[in-house]
């Protein structure tokens, strides 16, 4: 059984985290731990008109962002990794600089110190030099920056298809296959 932490921070693009949870819900051997920041909740309500009970139903375990004593705040609790989808530049900066004032940042820090996979789906544009430096720093300490950039070679016909393709690529890195959503590049003309 794989254990995956899904963090949803305050960047626009809450659909990435929500659809990732929906994808993972269809896979029997994956256990999910959800953390949503206060700004993440604001975006979920604004962008998706979704309430807490509907989102909580998509996860196996739900933790509050202020619960620094949660099981996932310790390296002794084994998980396969974490995805922050979307990841705000504030959250990325906290992680890059080891500032663990929230459970999202602490769980990410634990993944880094335990050498577990950490993927930050940073959703911001344009980027200034401070953002780029934090991206470099967090990459140097072991995280993977995976901006949710659509793969147009897959010829998506909806926002959902674009989101699912990006999420499937991220999950593939964890060895979690959601082939019905992942369109692999076959070369031009194929």
What's the pLDDT band for 78 if we cut at 50, 70, 90? very high
Rounded (10°) angle between helices 89-96 and 129-140: 50
Q: Distance between CA atoms of 164 and 179, rounded to whole angstroms? A: 10
pLDDT > 70: what percent of the chain? 99
Q: What are phi and psi of 172, to 5 degrees?
A: -60, -35
Contact between 66 and 102 under an 8 Å Cβ cutoff? The reply is: yes
- pLDDT of res. 190: 64
Which SS3 state, helix, strand or coil, does residue 34 take?
A: strand
Tokens 């929906």 appear where? Answer: 22
Instruction: Please name the fold of domain 2-172.
Output: Rossmann fold (3.40.50)
Which residue carries 């099981």 as its tokens?
71
At residue 181, the pLDDT reads 76
Confidence of residue 188 (pLDDT cuts 50, 70, 90): confident
pLDDT computed for residue 189 by the predictor: 74
Largest CA distance in the chain: 53
Alpha-carbon dihedral angle through residues 40, 110, 182, 49, given to the nearest 10 degrees? -10
């Amino acid at each position: 059984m794989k254990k995956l932490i899904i963090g949803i921070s305050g960047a626009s693009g809450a659909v990435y985290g929500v659809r990732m949870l929906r994808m993972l819900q269809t896979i029997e051997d994956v256990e999910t731990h959800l953390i949503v920041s206060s700004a993440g909740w604001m975006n979920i309500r604004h962008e998706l008109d979704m309430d807490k009970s509907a989102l909580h139903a998509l996860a196996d375990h739900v933790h509050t962002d202020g619960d620094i004593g949660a099981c996932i705040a310790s390296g002794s609790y084994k998980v396969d990794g974490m995805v922050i989808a979307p990841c705000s530049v504030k959250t990325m900066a906290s992680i890059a600089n080891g500032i663990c004032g929230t459970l999202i940042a602490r769980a990410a820090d634990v993944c880094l110190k335990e050498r577990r996979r950490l993927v930050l789906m940073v959703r911001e544009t344009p980027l200034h030099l401070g953002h780029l430096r934090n991206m470099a720093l967090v990459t140097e300490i072991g995280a993977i920056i995976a901006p949710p950039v659509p793969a147009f070679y897959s010829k998506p016909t909806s926002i959902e298809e674009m989101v699912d393709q990006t999420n499937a690529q991220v999950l593939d890195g964890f060895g979690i296959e959601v082939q019905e959503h992942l369109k692999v590049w076959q070369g031009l003309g194929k």
